[in-house]
């Protein structure tokens, strides 16, 4: 296989910039406006975010998850608590996340502490999911080794048979986490790689804002 010439892969950025006056003092308001822009641009799965966790001794891992809620408390996503990410968050309850909306030449980065959301909120979301997704959550030993695809499908079939046409019970090991935002950075691509980067840091009930060099 011939290696691609990655050094020559380059795209110019030429969209409007991000000035402090336009950004405002409230990063959650700005996040909402940017997310609305991503929706209007019909970006595929605009709520996809890369979630980075690490073990207690600093070994990192990253994967894509779907953002399912955002408010003053932080960003919410759902997973199996016994998965690799779940185990790492139990031993080291901190995470970083990044969302890229490439057609808009925008990126958002978040860092903060992580905690489980209330069981009632996990229950509510679980039962809003398609039935097949509920069965998969109940059947899959996420991040564990399985013999092959057939073994995984057999687990699903067993769970589907158990519940029949009845309501699927949310497993105790499945639910939501919330990243309680301590810092959030907005990145806007600019010409000549002189990008705009605005960093907000939580200061009690308010935020401080600084500009970072690209």
User: For the residues of 123-182, what is the DSSP string, one character each?
Assistant: HHHHTTS-HHHHHHHHH--TTS--S-HHHHHHHHHHHHHHHTTSPPPPPTTEEEEEEEEE
Following DSSP, what letter does each residue of 93-131 receive, concatenated?
Answer: -EEEEEEEEGGGTEEEEEEEEEEEPPHHHHHHHHTTS-H
- Tell me the C-alpha distance between 154 and 142, whole Å: 15
* Active-site residue (options: 193, 202, 209, 211): 193
Q: Average pLDDT of the chain?
A: 94
Could you give the CA distance from residue 58 to residue 88 in angstroms, rounded to a whole number? 10
Residue 55 assigned ligand-binding role: no
pLDDT at position 13 = 72
Residues of the chain with CATH 2.30.110.10: 16-127+172-211
- Give residue-wise pLDDT tens across range 77-119: 999 999 999 999 999 999 999 999 999 999 999 999 999 999 9
For residue 2, name the pLDDT band (cuts at 50, 70, 90).
Answer: low
Which fold does the domain 16-127+172-211 belong to in CATH? Pnp Oxidase; Chain A (2.30.110)
In this structure, what DSSP letter does residue 83 have?
Answer: S
193 is catalytic: yes
Residue 121: per-residue pLDDT: 97
What pLDDT, on the 0 to 100 scale, is given for residue 110? 98
Buried/exposed code over 115-131 (b: 16+ C-beta within 10 A; e: otherwise): ebbeeebbeebbeeeee
| Residues shown for the chain | 214
What local confidence, expressed as pLDDT, does residue 183 receive? 98
Q: Which long-range contacts link 54-61 to residues 24+ away (Cβ below 8 Å)?
A: 54/88, 54/92, 54/94, 55/88, 55/91, 55/92, 56/91, 56/92, 61/85, 61/88
Residue 87 annotated as part of some ligand binding site: no
**Who has greater pLDDT, 156 or 2?**
156
Confidence of residue 187 (pLDDT cuts 50, 70, 90): very high
DSSP single-letter state for residue 15: S
Q: Rounded CA gap, 36 and 28, in Å?
A: 12
Per-residue confidence (pLDDT) for residue 5, from 0 to 100: 75
116 is in an annotated binding site: no
Is it the case that residue 1 has pLDDT exceeding 80?
A: no
Q: For residue 85, give the nearest of 55, 40, 122 by alpha carbon.
A: 55
Predicted local distance difference test score (pLDDT) of residue 159 = 94
- In angstroms, the first-to-last Cα distance of the chain is 34
144 is in an annotated binding site: no
pTM of the complete model beyond 0.85: yes
186: enclosing H helix or E strand: strand 174-188
Does residue 197 have a known ligand-binding role? yes
Q: Is 207 annotated as a binding residue?
A: no
């Amino acid at each position: 296989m011939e290696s691609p010439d990655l050094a020559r892969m380059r795209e110019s950025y030429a969209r409007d910039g991000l000035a402090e006056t336009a950004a405002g003092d409230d990063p959650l308001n700005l996040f909402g406006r940017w997310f609305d822009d991503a929706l209007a641009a019909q970006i595929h799965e605009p709520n996809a975010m890369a979630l980075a966790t690490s073990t207690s001794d600093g070994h990192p891992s990253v994967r894509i998850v779907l953002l399912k809620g955002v408010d003053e408390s932080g960003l919410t996503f759902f997973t199996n608590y016994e998965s690799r990410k779940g185990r790492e968050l139990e031993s080291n309850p901190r995470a970083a996340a990044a969302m890229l909306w490439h057609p808009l030449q925008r990126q958002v980065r978040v860092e903060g502490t992580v905690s489980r959301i209330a069981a009632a909120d996990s229950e509510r979301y679980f039962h809003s999911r398609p039935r097949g997704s509920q069965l998969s959550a109940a059947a899959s030993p996420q991040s564990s080794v399985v013999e092959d695809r057939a073994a995984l499908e057999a687990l699903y079939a067993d769970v589907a048979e158990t519940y029949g046409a009845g309501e699927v019970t949310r497993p105790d090991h499945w639910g939501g986490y919330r990243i309680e935002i301590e810092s959030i950075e907005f990145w806007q691509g600019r010409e000549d790689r002189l990008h705009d980067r605005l960093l907000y840091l939580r200061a009690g009930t308010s935020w401080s804002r600084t500009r970072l060099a690209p």
